[in-house]
Amino acid sequence: MDRFAYINGSYKRHNQAEISIDDRGLQFGDAVYEVYSYQNGRVLDDDLHLNRLERSLGALGIKMPITRDSFKTIVARLVKMNNLKTGLVYFQISRGTAPRDHFIPKKKITPNIIITTKSMKIPDNSKMVKPINVISQDDIRWGRVDIKTVMLLPNCMAKTNGREKDCEEIVFVKNGVVTESASSNFFFVDSDNNLITAPTGDILEGITRNTLFDCAKKLGLKVIERKFSIKEARQAKEAFVSSATQIVRPIKKIDDSVIGDGKNYDICSKLYDMYMKIIPKIVE
Ligand code: PLP
């Protein structure tokens, strides 16, 4: 079946969707993106993702090029055209097209908008979620990882290193403290069942991370945002990563250390199921 993408006002087959070679996203990484999940008629946290999209654009001095309602209308149409059941919705907005020059154009240019969907299984409940192994890596990313830009080469390289060692994610460590993962936020559970995660600053403030704070509250669990070392994380009772596409993914091993007893992920499971419970059922 054909797969369709939205590009600058048109719906095109993927292999026919084109962008100028002078797109500043392509030339300089001068673009931001968002990802959220779609699951049988439900969009997970879409308003919060659109808020962050606006924030990321604002940090680069770019205005939202179309209204939120227009974004939602396009997504609904793409979901239908692509017959999407479960998967993800991807938005990429660059500053626009201009002759290649490091100086950001003084004159306003029209942002380039790309929206795609991808079919992907999103488990209905925690029983279907498989734990992963992770390894630690130096966090060599730039200083504004709080903006969701497309400059993901360090993340791609780190993840690829991880996969060579049978790890589906990695844990970034900067100046001795854990920041986050390559495409997710990192949490661990301490011996008092508190959820520990890095404070904002050196991380992307994950939408799922923040919704999980609400889930934790509903479950009577305390969340503590503080700095911690990889050594402390390796001694955790449970550990997990969070992101829009994985929600909560338990970690079996960090480097060579098995987390907890390597079998029980009770808190991860409760958080996953609570997340699925609090997301509005049907939006169409
Ligand atoms: N941190 C990084 C570096 C990411 O790339 C992502 C998701 O892409 C996250 C955290 C998780 O963010 P969210 O929960 O909004 O998907």
User: Residues 6 or more apart from 176 whose CB is under 8 A from it?
Assistant: 229
d(CA 48, CA 208): 9
Secondary structure string (H, E, C) spanning 39-98: ECCEECCHHHHHHHHHHHHHHCCCCCCCCHHHHHHHHHHHHHHCCCCEEEEEEEEECCEC
**Any ligand 1 atom below 6 A from CB of 149:** no
In a domain, 284, yes or no: no
Compute the distance from residue 51 Cα to the ligand 1 centre, in Å: 14
**Any ligand 1 atom below 6 A from CB of 112:** no
What CATH number is attached to the domain comprising 209? 3.20.10.10
Q: Are residues 113 and 139 in the same domain?
A: no
Q: Are residues 105 and 149 in the same domain?
A: no
pLDDT confidence of residue 20: 98
Q: Are residues 220 and 166 in the same domain?
A: yes
d(CA 166, CA 196): 25
Nearest to 134 by CA among 248, 259, 255: 255
Q: Are residues 151 and 269 in the same domain?
A: yes
Q: Are residues 206 and 268 in the same domain?
A: yes
**Any ligand 1 atom below 6 A from CB of 179:** no
Q: Are residues 66 and 152 in the same domain?
A: no
Number of domains in the chain: 2
User: Atom 9 in ligand 1: which residue has the minimum CA distance?
Assistant: 184
Residue after which a domain boundary falls, among 91, 119, 147? 119
Residue after which a domain boundary falls, among 92, 119, 146? 119
In a domain, 59, yes or no: yes
Domain that holds residue 171: 126-278
Q: Which among 243, 246, 247, 272 is the best mutation to test ligand 1's pocket, defined by most ligand atoms within 8 Å of the CB?
A: 243
Could you give the residue numbers annotated as active site? 148
pLDDT in tens, 202-239: 999 999 999 999 999 999 999 999 999 999 999 999 99
* Burial status of residue 140 (CB atoms within 10 A of its CB: 0-12, 13-18, 19 or more): exposed
In a domain, 283, yes or no: no
- Average pLDDT of the chain is 96
pLDDT confidence of residue 191: 96
CA 34 to ligand 1: nearest atom: 8
**Any ligand 1 atom below 6 A from CB of 184:** yes
pLDDT confidence of residue 282: 53
Query: With 90 as the cut, is the pLDDT of residue 152 above it?
Result: yes
Q: Are residues 69 and 160 in the same domain?
A: no
With pLDDT > 70 as the criterion, what percentage of the chain qualifies?
99
Q: Are residues 13 and 149 in the same domain?
A: no
Residue after which a domain boundary falls, among 93, 119, 145? 119
User: Residues 6 or more apart from 182 whose CB is under 8 A from it?
Assistant: 155, 156, 158, 159, 162, 169, 170, 172
In a domain, 102, yes or no: yes
pLDDT confidence of residue 281: 62
Confidence tier at 283 by pLDDT (50, 70, 90): very low
- Contact call for residues 178 and 230 (beta carbons, < 8 A): yes
Q: Are residues 103 and 144 in the same domain?
A: no
In a domain, 62, yes or no: yes
Q: Are residues 28 and 150 in the same domain?
A: no
d(CA 62, CA 92): 13
- Contact call for residues 265 and 255 (beta carbons, < 8 A): no
Q: Are residues 256 and 152 in the same domain?
A: yes
d(CA 259, CA 171): 14
Q: Are residues 107 and 185 in the same domain?
A: no
User: Atom 10 in ligand 1: which residue has the minimum CA distance?
Assistant: 184
What CATH number is attached to the domain comprising 33? 3.30.470.10
Compute the distance from residue 158 Cα to the ligand 1 centre, in Å: 15
